[in-house]
Amino acid sequence: MSKRSVQAMQALSRFGELAWFSLPAETHPLYGHPQVPYMGWRYTSSREGVAQLIEDAVKNLPTQVEWTLDRTRRNWILLPSRLITEGHGLDDPEFTDGVHSINIEDQDFCLRAASDLSLIIQRLQEVTLPES
């Protein structure tokens, strides 16, 4: 497990017990080029207001790209908004093709998003949590 994955899991665990977590490799396993980052997770049970805390933390950061927290499914996904737009939505079968296209054709975007994700993880580690 990568250092970034461990840090992300620790940050998200502050908001509740993780049942599942995924963060793609930072670089393509075969070709070695940077990949656009996104992370998905699911809590065993979600406390009231957790999603808003996470959304606010991300929204108020000076990121280089726009980010979206998608909670329309069982698993939550934090991803650059461009992935949703160019992938025609998370439910579209061509979503992975859109992600692949960005990975190949826009390395600058991948690097800016990776820098953002580090900032986001750091911020999630610092968010003041409401008392239970």
CA distance 97 to 6: 27
The yes-or-no verdict on residue 127 having pLDDT over 80 is yes
Q: Is 36 helix (H, G, I), strand (E, B) or coil?
A: coil
The yes-or-no verdict on residue 132 having pLDDT over 70 is no
Q: Which pLDDT score, from 0 to 100, does residue 88 have?
A: 78
Residue 131 lies in a domain: no
Residue 27 lies in a domain: yes
Residue 132 lies in a domain: no
Tokens (6 digits) for 26:
């930072």
Residue 91 lies in a domain: yes
Q: String of b and e for 58-93 (b: at least 16 CB within 10 Å)?
A: beeeebebebbebeeeeebbbbbebbbebbeeeeee
Q: Which pLDDT score, from 0 to 100, does residue 92 have?
A: 84
For 19-46, the pLDDT digits (tens) are: 999 998 898 888 888 999 999 999 998 7
Q: To the nearest whole number, what is the mean pLDDT of the chain?
A: 92
For 54-87, the pLDDT digits (tens) are: 999 999 999 999 999 999 888 999 999 999 988 8
Number of domains in the chain: 1
The CATH number linked to 117 is: 3.90.1150
Predicted TM-score of the model (pTM): 0.91
Higher pLDDT, 63 or 96: 63
Helices (H), the chain: 3-13, 50-59, 81-86, 95-105, 107-126
Q: Which domain holds residue 24?
A: 3-126
Give the mean model confidence (pLDDT) for residues 78-107.
89
